Structure 1
Amino acid sequence: MINRVVLVGRLTKDPELRYTPNGVAVTSFALAVNRPFKKQDGEQEADFIPVVVWRRQAENAANFLSKGSLAGIDGRIQTRNYENNEGRRVYVTEVIADSVQFLEPKGTHSSGQSTSGNNYSNRSRSTGTEQSQGVPSFDDPFAGDSKAIDINEDDLPF
């Protein structure tokens, strides 16, 4: 049997980090994932999928993701139920993430504006000139540099 989920979407609010009584980190958030079609009026629909992340990945997600961050999730669907304060049975379906990928630099969101300092400059990749739209650029620090790179063979992973 297979229970595998791969999602790419944006966080609907800041992740919520908590710790279990045993000290295990757990982070939860909702991921907005666009549907592959639009309504008749041209409006894009999205699903809002609850995600739970455990342990070190939970701490990383809480530290490096925020509302609007683009993230990739690899995990599995899990259902659980509990009885609420009114005595009613509540069923919850959520994605338990095995892996969380940060798909853009911290503080950069769909508007293209950076809200915090990062190591990415706003230079155009091809010309090296400033971009007027403020769209983030993932510059290659070695692009256009004809200097040799000094790497010791002992540092290579292969």
Structure 2
Amino acid sequence: MYNKVIMIGNLTRDIELKYLPSGAAVAKSAIATSYKYKSGDGQQKEEVCFLDFNVFGKAAEILNQYTRKGSKVMLEGRLVLEQWTANDGTNRNRHTLRVDEFKFLDSKADSMGSGGNEYNQQPQQQMGYNQNNGGYQQQNNYQQQQPAQNNMNNMQSNQGGTYNPNNVPTIDIDEDEIPF
């Protein structure tokens, strides 16, 4: 079975960062996402989904440092059923998202300098076709966990300048050259 959830939305509250006795960081919060559609009678409707999530380790500290209530993020992980006994003795349960990867989607100004950054909490696994084996072969690339920056940030550092969205070069293309 495959259990993978990707959610894009806004944080409904600030990150709650705690540390386990082992020293590992745990971040908890919730994400809200919405889906807009037209009903059968033509009225515009909106469904809102709220989901609690947990992040562990260095990723929890990074998420706490660069986000706040209202921050737009993409969370990727797996759905987990948490079960416990309440103080009144009743058995309780709820679904939460155990986050493995996330990406900041706010602009730099909105997210205190973190726009477009992403973080992968687990070692990346790449799938590639190997003709010598006659099938697919999985390769594990274990790398030190570091935030990855998007191409725009890399382009800025390579050019040594700052990115200005109003300074986009014009391209002279004849309509006959467009393939569609």
Report the structure, 1 or 2, having the larger strand content. Answer: 2
Comparing 92-101 and 40-49, the one that deviates more: 40-49
Identity level (%): 27
Distance 2:20 2:94 in 1: 19
In the alignment, which residue of structure 2 is the partner of 1:34?
A: 34
From 71, 75, 87, the equivalent of 1:73 is 75
Q: Is the 8 A contact 1:38 1:45 kept in 2?
A: no
Q: Which has the higher contact order (CA 8 A, sep 6+)?
A: 1
Structure 1 length-normalised TM:
0.66
5+ residue gaps, structure 2, are: 116-151, 157-161, 170-180
Q: Return the letter of the residue paired with 1:4.
A: K
In the alignment, which residue of structure 1 is the partner of 2:17?
A: 17
SS at match of 1:34: strand
Query: Is residue 5 of structure 2 the alignment partner of residue 5 of structure 1?
Result: yes
Comparing 57-66 and 39-48, the one that deviates more: 39-48
Distance 1:22 1:42 in 2: 50
Report the alpha carbon displacement of residue 37 of structure 1 after superposing the two structures with TM. 2.3
From 45, 48, 54, the equivalent of 2:47 is 45
Distance 1:18 1:59 in 2: 9
- When the two structures are aligned, how many residues end up with a matched partner? 122
Report the alpha carbon displacement of residue 22 of structure 1 after superposing the two structures with TM. 1.2
CA RMSD of aligned residues (A): 3.0
1:94-126 Cα distance to aligned partner (Å, 9 max, x none): 0000011111146627xxxxxx6x599xxxxxx
Structure number with bigger Rg: 2
Give matches, 1:77-92, under 5 Å: 77-92=79-94
5+ residue gaps, structure 1, are: 110-115, 121-137, 147-158
Structure 2 length-normalised TM:
0.59
